[in-house]
Structure 1
Amino acid sequence: MSFTSDGSRWSDVYLAAAGRAISVCGDFLAATTLALVLQQSGHGGMAVSGLLVAASLPITLLAAPAGRLVDRADSRTLLILMGFAQAAVCAALAFTTHPVLIVALVALLSCGLAVTQPTFAALLPGMVRSADLAKASGIVQTAGQIGMLAAPALAGILVGLTGPRVPLLLDAASYLALVVIGLLIRTRRGAATGKTAGSVPFRLRTDRSLTVMTVAVAAVVAGVNAVNVFEVFFIRDTLGASTAVYGFVMASWTVGMLAGSLVVGRVPRRRLTLRVVLALLAASCLAVLAGASVQSAGWLIPLWILGGVANGALNVCTTVMIAGRVPAEAHGRAFSAYGAAVQGAGLLGLIVAGPLADQFDPRVLVAGAGVLGVTAALACVPLVRRDREEQAGEMSAPAGSSKPSAAI
């Protein structure tokens, strides 16, 4: 846990928020651009699926070593080195046309994300007091949503006007901006503070509440992540939307995430529970299920906004729960382990989605993904109930029988 005791450093929070907004905008700009490039060049679901797998697999495979690195190394050094490396990869992507090389470079870019994502997540609790964590997390998440909001629409417009090179070069510039942010943030962790991973052993599975939360989120993500492959064909081919409309529909989910992050950032920490996590998961899946029935891409916008509200609130909720239940020296490993579980579940959905996209109607596939997501959320209800019952039993046990778990 180990939050700052000197008062919240809001200047660092806003710098982290700016860094997240810039980097997320660049990431989604590149992802949307590359998906459109593959679709327009006649490559099918396998190519889009391969692209998304390449963006997820390294984060899953490198979670353990990346988490240890984040907890041991100077956070500023990591952000600077990774920023320069990722900028170089994005610059190379701007001049690459072969789909195999595109997928390979995206995988290399994801190796850097496996380090920078948990680094920023682990830095945040050190910037603020415990009581301010939800607000700070909401600010950073909101900034990320603003970056996501701008990126798909910008990519759709730029690809239509200039081709893919300009948006990919803008992504490279976003990583250079991340280097500057890393230099300006005063909060540091790892080797710079002398508090490293070696002094605090950690396993995510030893915390029952975090384990249940991770299982619930991962189970739902495995069911619905395939939509990331299906929706480009659903929106462009089935609904006949232009690249610009596709970009605006993609951005509408982020509008909802923006609202969700702002609202939940004002909620007291004690109200961010496992039941809230499960309700938010189900709500986002129901929005996807409803979206499969529309006849025009415009109707997706309000549904995607509703799904995004749940998604944005969920992101803040999980961040607060992890930061509040794990020692500060182990935050890098905790956020990496959680991210790996979720990315791995999403990867499973992507692997299955590629062949399906080439064989079935996109509308049916979107509906199926929504049904699977809702089913997965409902299947996790017994886990949440069992966790609450076990904690209630521990809290009421006689003194000396067992150590009470922290409240969810």
Structure 2
Amino acid sequence: MPDQKGGHFPGIFRPSGVRLRKRRQGTGPTMVGALRIVIGIMLIGTILDEVVAIALLFHVAHKIGSSLAIAWLLLAQALPAIALAPYGGIAVDRFGAKRTIVLAAVPQAALMVLLGTAETTPWLVIFTVGLSSCFAFSGPALFALVPVVARQARFTVERTNSMIEIARGLGSVLGPVVGGTLIGYLEFATTLQMVAIWSLALPAAVVMFGLNTELSREKGSWASAFLGVGKSYKPILRRRAVVLIVATFGAIVFSTTFSDVVFIFFASFDLGASAFLVGILMASWAAGLTMGAWYCGKGTGQRPGLLGLAYLGGAVMGVALLTSGVAAILLRADLALAAVAAIFLVGGMGNGVHNVAVRNAIHSLVPAGQHGRAFSFYVAVSRAASICGYFGGGLVGASNAIVAYLASGILACSAAGLGWMAQKKARASESSI
């Protein structure tokens, strides 16, 4: 819960971190309502990101019809995010979230419009690389803005992160339906033009309300910060709690993407699910994710509680994957299908709790002037783990889907358990100093 002075985590968020124009520094009902609209814009943008990703896959499948094009597209989305994430974090901490979002917004919208005109794989890849590069800067800026906007809108950081995760979950569920419908009625180019226009709403609101983040107080020029990337990230890497929780998150992302690749084979062949029942299984996990994210939004902001929830959520996901594989081996097909649907609901809850708790923990453990770099570190690890997980799942193949689920569950449980023990050991050594 917020402390009496209005900060969500004592000593981390200072009034100097919120740069509002003097004529808008009040937090009366009108201002609070306007800032809640800003949060709404962020949430709709999160859903639209998922819609664009699905619409892009629809476009490639129907217009180009090449599985190789989809592979290139996925790499074009992931590799720039990994390569440029460190620089995006430095830009946010050095120049502020407002300037970073505004400078990234215009090329981002232009590239989205150009992407809608691309009809060949090379141009699709080029424009996707450009978009992903812009996201590498705007993503950390949005993350760093969350505490600023949340406090001014009289929300807790936990609640805001919870709403963002719920929006992501809704986007993944509604994305195929909305993306397919929009392409069917409006075509791919028109869909991306609409999303491009909407993407300018958040930068406009940030400028209108003068929202900005606290700048880093570290010494040195911006040039030395960009050229010496490793040195710039030393303050983040010195925080053992952050390194441990992000490393654990990466291991769990690897394990879940590993099983995601073979999910359709696991559901269709090993469980004998029809297309409708495959959708039910996906909806079950998504419903659990929404419930878990909602629960985590009621957090207290206390460090031990945040860390505990993150590791607990990861362990629950691991147990869900492991027991799903066991159920497919031991139970009759119809019973196994019902059991896995229930297990997926619980696993989704762990997923939602884990994702929100990790974001809350990073906001809590890292000072405001370092949020950009902390989020970039988190994104780079997540994307790298996803790529490795997809390749690993692809190597396993359709015939070993149950083995993939068992291995994923064991890995996720082990990562959560070992991470929690290392975290407790690190905290004990800190308290003994």
1:309 lines up with 2:349 in the alignment: yes
The alpha-carbon distance between structure 1 residues 71 and 208, as it changes in their structure 2 partners (threshold 3 A), is: same
In the alignment, the residues of structure 1 paired with residue 323 and residue 118 of structure 2 have an alpha-carbon distance, to the nearest angstrom, of: 38
In the alignment, the residues of structure 2 paired with residue 86 and residue 369 of structure 1 have an alpha-carbon distance, to the nearest angstrom, of: 38
Aligned to 1:334: 374
Aligned to 2:8: none
In the alignment, the residues of structure 2 paired with residue 370 and residue 110 of structure 1 have an alpha-carbon distance, to the nearest angstrom, of: 33
Aligned to 2:228: none
In the alignment, the residues of structure 2 paired with residue 36 and residue 302 of structure 1 have an alpha-carbon distance, to the nearest angstrom, of: 30
Q: Which deviates more from structure 2 when the two are superposed, residues 306-315 or residues 27-36?
A: 306-315
In the alignment, the residues of structure 1 paired with residue 253 and residue 408 of structure 2 have an alpha-carbon distance, to the nearest angstrom, of: 9
Aligned to 1:196: 216
CA shift at 1:84, angstroms?
A: 2.0
CA shift at 1:240, angstroms?
A: 6.3
Partner SS, residue 354 of structure 2: helix
- Look up the equivalent residue of 1:348 and give its one-letter code: C
Mark the structure with the bigger radius of gyration: 2
Alignment of 1:314-325 (within 5 A): 314-325=354-365
Q: Which deviates more from structure 2 when the two are superposed, residues 383-392 or residues 232-241?
A: 232-241
Contact 1:221 1:342 in 2 (8 A): yes
The alpha-carbon distance between structure 1 residues 290 and 213, as it changes in their structure 2 partners (threshold 3 A), is: same
Give % identity: 23
In the alignment, the residues of structure 2 paired with residue 157 and residue 246 of structure 1 have an alpha-carbon distance, to the nearest angstrom, of: 20
Alignment partner of 2:157 out of 126, 133, 140: 133
Alignment of 1:73-152 (within 5 A): 73-128=95-150, 132-152=156-176
Alignment of 1:375-394 (within 5 A): 375-394=411-430
In the alignment, the residues of structure 2 paired with residue 232 and residue 322 of structure 1 have an alpha-carbon distance, to the nearest angstrom, of: 33
Deviations along 1:87-124, one digit per CA (max 9) or x if unpaired, are 22121222223233323322221111111111111122
The alpha-carbon distance between structure 1 residues 373 and 67, as it changes in their structure 2 partners (threshold 3 A), is: farther
Deviations along 1:158-217, one digit per CA (max 9) or x if unpaired, are 445565444433432331333333334443125xxxx33534965322111111111111
CA shift at 1:288, angstroms?
A: 5.0
Contact 1:153 1:251 in 2 (8 A): no
Structure 1, gaps ≥5 residues long: 403-408
CA shift at 1:295, angstroms?
A: 7.9
Contact 1:13 1:124 in 2 (8 A): no
User: Structure 2-normalised TM-score?
Assistant: 0.75
Deviations along 1:52-84, one digit per CA (max 9) or x if unpaired, are 222222121112211110111242232223222
CA shift at 1:29, angstroms?
A: 1.0
The alpha-carbon distance between structure 1 residues 205 and 99, as it changes in their structure 2 partners (threshold 3 A), is: same
Deviations along 1:342-365, one digit per CA (max 9) or x if unpaired, are 2221122234455x38xx32x744
Alignment partner of 1:63 out of 85, 89, 93: 85
Comparing both chains, which one has the higher relative contact order based on Cα–Cα distances under 8 Å and sequence gaps of 6 or more?
Answer: 1
Deviations along 1:294-340, one digit per CA (max 9) or x if unpaired, are 789x9787665544332222222112211212121111111111221
Deviations along 1:1-45, one digit per CA (max 9) or x if unpaired, are 63255998855762442232222222111211222344455433x
Contact 1:151 1:251 in 2 (8 A): no
Alignment of 1:30-41 (within 5 A): 30-40=52-62
Partner SS, residue 289 of structure 2: helix
Structure 2, gaps ≥5 residues long: 1-10, 19-25, 221-231
Number of residues of Structure 1 aligned to a counterpart in Structure 2: 385
Contact 2:256 2:389 in 1 (8 A): yes
1:277 lines up with 2:310 in the alignment: yes
CA shift at 1:49, angstroms?
A: 3.5
CA shift at 1:383, angstroms?
A: 3.7
CA shift at 1:366, angstroms?
A: 7.4
Aligned to 1:265: 297
The alpha-carbon distance between structure 1 residues 87 and 303, as it changes in their structure 2 partners (threshold 3 A), is: farther
